[in-house]
Structure 1
Amino acid sequence: MIRVLVVDDSAVLRRLITTVLAADPDIEVVGTAVDGLEAIEKVDELAPDAVTLDVEMPRLDGIGAVEVIHRNHPRLPVVMFSTLTERGAAATLQALSNGASDYVAKPTGAGNVGESMARVREDLVPRLKALVGARRMVAAVPVVRRAAPRAAAPPQVLVVACSTGGPDALSRVLAALPAAFPLPVLVTQHMPPVFTTQFAQRLDRVSPLEVREAADGDQPRPGLVLIAPGDHHLTLVRRGASVRAQLDQGPRENFCRPAADPLFRSAAGVHGPGVLGLVLTGMGQDALEGARAVVDAGGRVVVQDEATSVVWGMPGAVAGAGLAHEVLPLDRIAGALTGLAGRALTPAP
């Protein structure tokens, strides 16, 4: 059983979330709290396996509460409930920086109770199971490192995939890359609209590279990081002598839009063996088929290891399929990328 503490100052939402979670045979709601201070006390008292935490609450909000909870219980998964607004996005991104594991959209109340319950069930339950499962799992996926291509081409582009735990992981990687990093960088992080705009702005403040949300027709270049906008796939296309970013609202892949598979596939189609792929922490298997396309084209793939991933779903799927050339802890990834990208500074022999 997954023991969950539900924290929200709204009695209606506490009841709705509790009802949804209690209906799942694998989940037990062990308690509720109405604000951040009570949440901190209940975590110590009840020792739950996971916490759902509202962002805006009296006395102590979710941003402050998750910082204390994460400091006292660093491996305890905390899922934030957020409104899909600029204010909600800013608060949620701060909560993720303070140690929250993931977030889900708060029901708006625009639909009926049944629709709200269905949304919470679809969005929250899989996250709780993945996060708690990752915390309990012990080295279940065998890692098969792929041999480097014999005649590897110099890399021309870095494409990145991330989801659950990705905001913090990506922030650390980009902050550690040098200002002279010689490759254009394109990123798919599973996020809704509004969130990706603010996410790009936050990354721009911590990275020596320029980071911004991608626009249709952007020309990737060294020193620039383009983030896929929420609800749009980001891909690469060749237009004459130049390569451009392209946005579209094609079908969801792996239940996601943006999804990483379209980005990786398109990069392999445009740059062939010149693609360097990176798969960071995330739930599900998005980027698996994209990584396969990169490897089939002669490119290289680096993934984050299990020990430093919040959820080893996406990188684990790639590693388990034997498509990863390197499986590295988070703090070694920027250095490895810089070393691999350094080959772009000199022509291939």
Structure 2
Amino acid sequence: MNTSSTQNSGKSENAYRIMVVDDSAVIRGLLTRILESDPHVCVVESVSNGEIAVKRLENHNIDVVVLDIEMPVMDGLTALPKLLQVKPDVQIIMASTLTRKNAEISLKAMRLGAADYIPKPTSSGELTKASDFKYELVEKVKALGQVARTGQKAPLPSATKGEQATTSGSAVKPKTEAAVSSSLYPSKSITLRKDTITKPDILAIGSSTGGPQALFDVLGNLGTITQPVVITQHMPATFTALLAEHIARVSSMPSKEGEDGEVLKGGHIYLAPGGYHMVFEKQGVNTVIRLNQEPPENFCRPAVDPMLRSLSKIYGSRLLVLILTGMGSDGLRGSEVVTAAGGSVIAQDEQTSVVWGMPGAVATAGLCSAVLPIKEMASNVRQLVMRSAA
């Protein structure tokens, strides 16, 4: 059976309308049951390939598409631009098993306008038992469902180092994210802190949903700086290794996953590996990476908060933090520690965030010295890191 529709009379009229696209009828059924377990989510279409998905989107009001990569007739990467052409504001989550090939395709898909990705368990049995996957899928669908309802586009990242933007993408202005409604983050409530930083000794970046695109934009336009750059992006292991490679291609600085015991070098970029918190300790004159598998924080490992707490102890007022687009509030508690120690925090603004959860949390808590569009981040950071040392 190639397609089915769900009309659940028990659902709210405002429930987010979802289309599941996967060539396995078993997987489609399992994904549908997971999504339908939430009263705010309704799966209205379930189809077996990208070609059918494009046709159904032409005639149905869909907020979010959960799109498999490997399918007959038309695969997910081929279908992606066609879906966005039919409905530019539809939010697309790439769902694939965790292989290097699929991770590479998912990263490419996000450059072409997919809003997010989710690593899919390798079998129906694993999927049935995967509580973390179920939680993540439902929360991402709800967050992006709300994004789809706003109908306002945010710009895609600019092309860097010879790359060309290849589509008018689907990233749109968010009003909320899954766990926290936008009413908690009204833009008018933002109070900026005085910029007290002199010349930072390190740049730390935290990001989640929409983060790869934002990282490419910031780091691709930052140029070479003398400070080390450390990043926590919510991603599984296979993805973080590839993301580090992609960052190296667009940036003027070397980029790699951080390794336990590694000494930070100026002008190098270090990305927290999936499945590990990346924290730091001082050894003599050096700052050393320490990886651990302590419990997730904010449902995430790696998480931004432990990274920021450890950096604050070492760098104090000479720590500069960027909180970019992402669901949830990871980075909020860490940013509180950073500002208490005299460091500075800059958040991505609502208009250019895919989901204004993480940056919205720090911005409306009064922790930021600036709240900026993604296009202004690199130049602003460059001005700060080029300041004269006090």
TM-score range, shorter chain: over 0.9
* Structure 1 residue 45: Cα displacement: 1.4
Give the equivalent residue in structure 2 for 1:133: 146
Equivalent residue runs for 1:290-301 within 5 Å = 290-301=334-345
Equivalent residue runs for 1:278-289 within 5 Å = 278-289=322-333
TM-score (norm 1): 0.93
* Structure 1 residue 149: Cα displacement: 4.2
Q: Distance in 1 between matches of 2:81 and 2:283?
A: 47
Identity of aligned residues (%): 41
Equivalent residue runs for 1:127-206 within 5 Å = 127-135=140-148, 136=150, 137=175, 140=183, 141-143=185-187, 144-150=190-196, 152-179=197-224, 181-206=225-250
Deviates more, 1:163-172 or 1:65-74: 65-74
Q: Deviations over 1:224-268 (max 9, x none)?
A: 110000111111210012111221111211111100001111111
Q: Partner amino acid for 2:194?
A: A
* Structure 1 residue 307: Cα displacement: 0.8
Give the equivalent residue in structure 2 for 1:115: 129
Unaligned runs of 5+ residues in structure 1 are: none
Change (3 A) 1:120 1:197: closer
Q: Deviations over 1:145-181 (max 9, x none)?
A: 322245x3321000000001101111111101112x2
Q: Partner amino acid for 1:301?
A: V
Q: Does residue 86 of structure 1 match 2:100?
A: yes
Give the equivalent residue in structure 2 for 1:347: 389
Is the Cα–Cα contact under 8 Å of residues 157 and 185 in structure 1 kept in the other structure? yes
Q: Distance in 2 between matches of 1:172 and 1:72?
A: 26
Q: Partner amino acid for 1:148?
A: K
Q: Partner amino acid for 1:169?
A: A
Aligned residue for 2:337, secondary structure, equals helix
Once superposed, which parts of structure 1, at least 4 consecutive aligned residues long, lie more than 4 Å away? none
Give the equivalent residue in structure 2 for 1:262: 306
Unaligned runs of 5+ residues in structure 2 are: 1-14, 151-174, 177-181
Q: Does residue 242 of structure 1 match 2:286?
A: yes
Q: Partner amino acid for 2:186?
A: P
Q: Distance in 2 between matches of 1:113 and 1:236?
A: 35
Q: Does residue 275 of structure 1 match 2:319?
A: yes
Q: When the two structures are aligned, how many residues end up with a matched partner?
A: 343
Aligned residue for 1:52, secondary structure, equals strand
CA RMSD of the aligned region, Å?
1.7
Q: Partner amino acid for 1:155?
A: P
Is the Cα–Cα contact under 8 Å of residues 145 and 327 in structure 1 kept in the other structure? no
Equivalent residue runs for 1:219-234 within 5 Å = 219-234=263-278
TM-score (norm 2): 0.84
Give the equivalent residue in structure 2 for 1:19: 33
Q: Partner amino acid for 1:26?
A: H
Q: Distance in 2 between matches of 1:35 and 1:340?
A: 49
Is the Cα–Cα contact under 8 Å of residues 221 and 251 in structure 2 kept in the other structure? yes
Q: Distance in 1 between matches of 2:211 and 2:20?
A: 24
